[in-house]
C-alpha cells in the first residue's frame, strides 16, 4: 500500500474503539465462544506485519452472523461486530484507493512519456525508426490476410504498387486505405487527409496578352509551379513524420481522457472518507451501522462502475464488502468479477509505450558495428593516439606544476618573507648613497664655510631631510664667476654634490615604487594564478555534475527532478484556480454534503500531490526538519476537509518556504 493511502487511512483506524472492559459472563452463558471468535478476528485485523486475507475474514464474519443471527446478544458483542466491520471496511477502502491511485499514476506516466515524445521532432523521428519493423510486420500481415481472403496465392507480382492499389483501393480521399491504417493504426479513429499541392503548368490564357506581359506572366506562373512542386515534395518526404506525430498526439489525448476518468474515481473515493469516518465515530451503534452499511453499498456501486444503480442496503454490509473484496485485483475469484477500479484500455487500445526491446533495437543493431569500426580505427592509429596521450599528459603536468604549484609556492614565499627585500632597489643602496651625499656636503661646508661642530651637526640633519641650502648658496656664488670658480673655486664640487643629490632622489623614488609593489605583491600573485584556478574550478564542477548527476540524483533530486516538481506545483495551482470540467456521467459526489472541490479536480490534485509525497520520501533526508515540514504541507494538500481557498494558501506557503531551498525558482530556467 502506498504511503499516501496509508496516511489517508491511518487516522480512520485510530477512530475504531473496541470495548475495553469485559462484562461478567452470566451463568451458563453460551455466547462466550462466539465473542472469542470476534476478539480473535479483531486481533488478526490489527496485525500490520501480516498480510490480511480480507475475503477470508469476511467469510468468517458471515459464518458467525449466520450462526448467531444479525442481532447482537449484548453491547460488547455489538461493539466487537462494529469494530471488525469497520476495520474490514477501512482495509477494503484503502485497497480500492491504492488500486485506483496506482492505475491513475500508470496512465499519467504513459501520458507524460507521449507528451515528451510529441514535443521533440528528433524524438518523433527516432520513434518512427524504432517502430518501423513493427509497422512493416503489421503491413505484411495485413497483405497476407487480404490475399487469403481473396483466395489469391502469394506471389511476388502481387506486391507491385499497381497490384497493391487494386487490392487495397481508396474509396475516399479523406479515408486512408487499409495499408496506411496498418502502418499508422490511429488513422482508423482519426482519418488523416493527405492534401498534396500539385503544381500546374501555365495555361494558354497566360499568353493572350502582349508579348512583354505574356513573358512576365509565364515566368511568374513557372516560378509558382516550381515552388508548389518543391513544397509538395517536402510534404511527401515529411509525411511519415507528420503521421507519427499525429499518432503520438492521438495517444496523448486518449490517455488524458483515461487519466481524467481515473482521477475522477479517485476523487470520489477520497470524498467518501468523511462518510466512513462518521460511521466509525457515531456514538449510537445503530446509526453507526446504518452509515457503515450506506458506505459499503456506495463503495460497491463505485467499484462496479454503476453509478445509476439503486442503493439497496437491506442485505447488510457484509455482502457488499464481500463483493468489493472479490472485485479487487489479486483476490480469489476476482477474474469473474466486473471491476471499474482498473482500466484495460491501456493495452486494449495500444496506448502504452513500446517495449524496451523495440526502443533499444537501433542501438543493439548499429552500436556493435560502430564500436568495431571505432576499435579498428583506434588500433590503426595507435601510435599517433599514444603520442597524443603523452602530449596530453605532459600538458596537464606542465599546467599543474607551472600554473598552479609554482604560483602557490611564490605566494607562500611572499607571505613568509614579509616584504623585507626590495624588488627594484635595496635599502642598503639608498642608505649608502645618502651617506655619501652627507660626507661630500659636510666636507665642502667645513672647508669653504668653516662650520663649527654644532653647525656641522645641524647641516647633517638638513641633508638627511633633503635640504642643501648652504651648498646651493655656494653654488650660486660660484656660478657668478664660472671660469674662475671652475679652476680655483668649488663649482665642480657643488655640481657633483647636486648629481649625488639627484641620484639620492632617484633612489628614494624607486624605494617608494618598491614599497608600492611590495604592498600589492600578493594581489599580483593571486591575479596570476586566477586563470588556472578558474579552469580547475570549471573542470571540477563538470566532473561533480557528471558524478552526482545534474541529470540524475544530485542534491534534492537534481535539476531534472526539480523541474518535474516545479511542473507538479504549477499544475496543482492551476487545478485550484481553473477547475476542469468533468465529461463523464459516472463517479459523481457520493456524500450528502456539498464539496468545495469536485471529484475530478480532487482526483487530479491528489494525483499530483502523490508525486510530491513520493519525492519527499525518496530525495529529502529522513528525520530532517525539511522533510517533516514539507510532508506536513503535503498532508494539508491531501486533506479532503480543506477547501479550495485553504489549499491555495497552503500552496503559497510551499512556494514561499521551499521554492528557494529545493530549487523550484530556478527549475523553470532549465528549458524543460
> Read out DSSP for 15-27?
T----SS-PPPPT
Give this prediction's pTM: 0.71
Q: How confident is the model at residue 199 (pLDDT cuts 50, 70, 90)?
A: very low
- Supply the pLDDT for residue 393: 93
- Supply the pLDDT for residue 213: 56
- Among 89, 90, 35, residue whose Cα is nearest residue 64: 35
- Residues 626-632, mean pLDDT to the nearest whole number: 92
| CB environment 121-146: b (16+ within 10 A), e (fewer) | eeebeebbebbbeebeebbeebbeeb
For 396-420, what is each residue's pLDDT tens digit?
999 998 888 888 888 888 777 665 5
- Residues 565-569, mean pLDDT to the nearest whole number: 91
Residues of the chain by 3-state class (helix, strand, coil), percent to 5 = 75, 0, 25
- Supply the pLDDT for residue 336: 39
- Supply the pLDDT for residue 133: 93
Rounded distance, CA 250 to CA 627, Å?
Answer: 39
**Grid coordinates belonging to 313:** 442496503
Q: How confident is the model at residue 583 (pLDDT cuts 50, 70, 90)?
A: low
- Supply the pLDDT for residue 80: 77
Using CA atoms of 163, 167, 171, 175 in order, give the dihedral in degrees to the nearest 10: -100
Q: What percent of the chain shows pLDDT beyond 70?
A: 78
At 187 the three-state DSSP class reads helix
- Supply the pLDDT for residue 32: 54
Q: What percent of the chain shows pLDDT beyond 90?
A: 21
For residue 589, what are the CA distances in angstroms to 302, 595, 601?
Answer: 11, 8, 12
Q: Write down the mean pLDDT value for the chain.
A: 78
- Residues 119-137, mean pLDDT to the nearest whole number: 93
Q: Out of 21-30, 252-261, 567-576, pick the least confident.
A: 21-30
Rounded distance, CA 208 to CA 157, Å?
Answer: 49
Place of cell 484556480: 577
- Among 514, 368, 323, residue whose Cα is nearest residue 430: 514
- Among 94, 8, 75, residue whose Cα is nearest residue 35: 75
- Supply the pLDDT for residue 171: 66
Q: How confident is the model at residue 255 (pLDDT cuts 50, 70, 90)?
A: very high
Q: How many other β-carbons are positioned within 10 Å of the β-carbon of residue 9?
A: 19
Sign of the CA dihedral with 570 first, then 574, 577, and 579 last: negative
Helix 54-68 with 75-119: angle, nearest 10 deg: 150
Q: Out of 13-17, 288-292, 356-360, pick the least confident.
A: 13-17
- Convert 301-352 into a string of H (helix), E (strand) and C (coil): HHHHCCCCCCCCCCCCHHHHHHHHHHHCCCCCCHHHCCCCCCCCHHHHCCCC
**Grid coordinates belonging to 495:** 655640481
* Residues 6+ positions from 282 with CB-CB distance below 8 Å: 288, 291
Rounded distance, CA 544 to CA 523, Å?
Answer: 29
Q: Indicate whether 228 pLDDT > 80.
A: no
- Supply the pLDDT for residue 482: 80
- Residues 461-487, mean pLDDT to the nearest whole number: 82
For 360-375, what is each residue's pLDDT tens digit?
999 999 999 999 999 9
- Residues 606-634, mean pLDDT to the nearest whole number: 91
Own/partner pairs for 627-633, CB < 8 Å, 24+ apart?
629/657, 630/654, 630/658, 633/657, 633/658
- Among left, alpha and beta (phi > 0; psi -120 to 50; other), residue 333 is left
- Among 47, 131, 124, residue whose Cα is nearest residue 91: 47
Q: Indicate whether 574 pLDDT > 60.
A: yes
- Residues 574-596, mean pLDDT to the nearest whole number: 61
Q: Out of 12-26, 116-130, 202-216, 646-660, pick the least confident.
A: 202-216
Q: Out of 130-134, 207-211, 499-503, pick the least confident.
A: 207-211
Q: How confident is the model at residue 631 (pLDDT cuts 50, 70, 90)?
A: very high
The answer to whether the CB of 434 falls within 8 A of the CB of 487 is no
Using CA atoms of 455, 457, 460, 462 in order, give the dihedral in degrees to the nearest 10: -60
Q: Indicate whether 665 pLDDT > 80.
A: no
User: For 450, phi and psi rounded to 5 degrees?
Assistant: 55, 50
Bigger pLDDT: 170 or 107?
Answer: 107
Q: Indicate whether 68 pLDDT > 90.
A: no
The answer to whether the CB of 82 falls within 8 A of the CB of 15 is no
- Convert 200-230 into a string of H (helix), E (strand) and C (coil): CCCCHHHHCCCHHHHHHHHHHHHHHHHHHHH
The answer to whether the CB of 20 falls within 8 A of the CB of 297 is no
Bigger pLDDT: 541 or 56?
Answer: 541
Q: How confident is the model at residue 634 (pLDDT cuts 50, 70, 90)?
A: very high
Strands (E), 61-131: none
Amino acid at each position: 500500500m502506498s504511503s499516501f493511502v496509508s496516511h489517508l487511512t491511518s487516522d480512520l483506524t485510530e477512530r475504531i474503539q473496541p470495548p475495553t472492559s469485559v462484562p461478567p459472563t452470566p451463568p451458563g452463558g453460551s455466547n462466550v465462544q462466539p465473542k472469542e471468535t470476534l476478539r480473535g478476528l479483531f486481533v488478526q485485523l490489527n496485525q500490520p506485519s501480516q498480510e490480511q486475507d480480507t475475503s477470508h475474514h469476511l467469510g468468517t464474519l458471515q459464518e458467525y452472523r449466520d450462526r448467531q443471527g444479525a442481532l447482537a446478544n449484548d453491547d460488547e458483542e455489538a461493539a466487537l461486530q462494529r469494530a471488525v466491520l469497520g476495520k474490514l471496511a477501512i482495509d477494503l477502502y484503502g485497497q480500492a484507493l491504492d488500486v485506483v491511485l496506482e492505475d491513475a499514476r500508470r496512465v499519467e506516466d504513459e501520458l507524460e512519456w507521449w507528451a515528451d515524445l510529441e514535443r521533440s521532432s528528433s524524438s518523433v523521428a527516432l520513434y518512427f525508426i524504432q517502430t518501423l519493423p513493427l509497422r512493416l510486420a503489421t503491413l505484411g500481415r495485413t497483405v497476407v490476410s487480404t490475399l487469403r481472403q481473396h483466395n489469391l496465392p502469394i506471389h511476388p507480382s502481387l506486391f507491385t504498387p499497381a497490384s497493391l492499389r487494386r487490392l487495397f483501393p481508396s474509396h475516399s480521399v479523406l479515408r486512408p486505405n487499409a495499408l496506411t491504417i496498418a502502418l499508422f493504426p490511429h488513422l482508423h479513429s482519426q482519418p488523416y487527409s493527405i492534401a498534396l499541392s500539385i503544381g500546374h503548368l501555365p495555361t494558354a490564357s497566360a499568353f493572350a496578352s502582349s508579348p512583354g506581359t505574356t513573358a512576365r506572366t509565364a515566368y511568374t506562373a513557372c516560378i509558382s509551379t516550381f515552388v508548389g512542386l518543391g513544397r509538395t515534395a517536402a510534404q511527401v518526404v515529411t509525411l511519415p513524420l507528420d503521421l507519427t506525430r499525429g499518432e503520438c498526439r492521438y495517444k496523448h489525448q486518449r490517455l488524458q481522457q483515461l487519466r481524467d476518468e481515473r482521477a475522477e474515481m479517485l476523487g470520489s473515493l477520497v470524498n467518501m472518507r468523511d462518510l466512513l469516518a462518521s460511521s466509525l465515530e457515531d456514538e449510537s451503534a445503530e446509526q453507526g451501522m446504518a452509515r457503515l452499511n450506506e458506505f459499503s453499498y456506495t463503495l460497491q456501486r463505485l467499484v462496479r462502475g454503476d453509478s445509476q444503480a439503486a442503493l439497496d442496503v437491506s442485505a447488510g454490509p457484509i455482502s457488499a464488502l464481500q463483493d468489493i473484496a472479490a472485485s479487487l485485483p489479486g483476490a480469489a475469484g476476482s477474474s469473474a468479477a466486473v471491476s471499474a477500479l482498473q482500466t484495460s484500455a491501456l493495452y486494449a487500445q495500444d496506448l502504452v509505450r513500446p517495449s524496451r526491446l523495440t526502443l533499444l533495437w537501433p542501438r543493439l543493431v548499429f552500436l556493435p558495428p560502430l564500436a568495431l569500426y571505432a576499435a579498428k580505427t583506434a588500433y590503426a592509429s595507435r601510435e599517433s593516439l599514444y603520442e597524443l596521450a603523452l602530449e596530453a599528459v605532459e600538458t596537464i603536468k606542465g599546467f599543474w606544476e607551472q600554473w598552479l604549484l609554482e604560483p602557490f609556492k611564490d605566494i607562500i614565499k611572499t607571505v613568509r618573507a614579509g616584504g623585507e627585500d626590495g624588488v627594484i632597489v635595496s635599502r642598503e643602496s639608498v642608505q649608502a648613497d645618502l651617506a655619501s651625499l652627507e660626507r661630500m656636503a659636510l666636507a665642502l661646508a667645513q672647508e669653504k664655510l668653516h662650520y663649527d661642530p654644532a653647525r656641522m651637526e645641524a647641516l647633517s640633519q638638513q641633508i638627511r631631510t633633503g635640504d642643501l641650502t648652504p651648498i646651493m648658496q655656494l653654488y650660486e656664488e660660484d656660478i657668478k664667476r664660472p671660469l674662475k670658480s671652475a679652476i680655483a673655486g668649488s663649482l665642480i664640487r657643488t655640481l657633483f654634490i647636486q648629481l649625488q643629490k639627484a641620484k639620492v632622489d632617484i633612489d628614494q623614488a624607486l624605494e617608494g615604487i618598491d614599497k608600492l609593489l611590495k604592498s600589492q605583491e600578493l594581489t599580483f600573485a593571486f591575479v596570476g594564478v586566477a586563470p588556472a584556478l578558474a579552469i580547475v574550478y570549471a573542470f571540477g564542477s563538470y566532473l561533480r555534475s557528471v558524478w552526482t548527476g545534474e541529470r540524475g540524483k544530485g542534491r534534492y533530486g537534481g535539476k531534472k527532478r526539480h523541474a518535474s516538481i516545479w511542473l507538479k506545483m504549477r499544475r496543482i495551482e492551476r487545478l485550484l484556480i481553473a477547475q476542469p470540467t468533468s465529461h463523464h456521467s459516472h463517479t459523481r459526489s457520493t456524500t450528502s454534503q456539498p464539496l468545495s472541490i469536485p471529484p475530478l479536480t480532487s482526483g487530479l490534485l491528489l494525483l499530483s500531490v502523490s508525486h510530491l509525497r513520493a519525492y519527499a520520501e525518496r530525495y529529502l533526508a529522513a528525520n530532517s526538519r525539511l522533510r517533516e515540514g514539507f510532508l506536513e504541507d503535503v498532508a494539508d494538500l491531501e486533506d479532503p476537509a480543506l477547501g479550495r481557498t485553504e489549499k491555495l494558501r497552503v500552496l503559497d506557503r510551499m512556494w514561499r518556504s521551499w521554492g528557494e531551498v529545493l530549487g523550484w525558482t530556478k527549475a523553470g530556467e532549465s528549458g524543460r
